[in-house]
Amino acid sequence: MPDAVRNLRVLMMVLGGMQALLGVALVTNSVAVATSIWGEGDASTPCCTTPDEDHAGMVVFAGLLVLAVSAWGVTTALKFPTRHRNLRVSAFAYGWTALPFSWAFFQVVPLLGFAWLVPAVLAIVRPNQPESRAWFNHRPL
């Protein structure tokens, strides 16, 4: 495996791992995240539920979507040794999908958002390098 493909594989696993952490944090802290987004409930709400608990389901759904995208990136990276042509396309599409997460991370910690932007752009560029194209097309380097 050439260095460009190996670096792309590691990059995708790191991106997938960070997304998995974000997804787990969203799922496990859904009420706290909903409270921070939609604000506190008022005294006029019914006795047993608060608006935060109503919105927590949307946060859990978003967390599960983030976990699914994370699994897609890690699974694609793990299949690189098979040299299937569609894996290069999947890696390229995953890079474009990972790009909006920089905005989500930027909302939490701006430095983390900028740190996420660079690997996301690299995940878009690396699959189109000549070494990567040759590797996935089964051509000698």
pLDDT tens column, 96-111: 998 888 887 787 778 8
**23 in Cβ contact with 44 (< 8 Å):** no
pTM of the model: 0.79
Q: Residue 28: count other Cβ atoms within 10 Å of its Cβ.
A: 12
Report the pLDDT value the prediction gives residue 13, as an integer from 0 to 100: 93
**80 in Cβ contact with 131 (< 8 Å):** no
Q: Residue 57: count other Cβ atoms within 10 Å of its Cβ.
A: 11
Report the pLDDT value the prediction gives residue 17, as an integer from 0 to 100: 92
Taking the mean position of all CA atoms in its chain, how far away is CA 87?
17
pLDDT tens column, 52-87: 567 778 878 888 998 999 999 999 999 999 988 899
Taking the mean position of all CA atoms in its chain, how far away is CA 34?
20
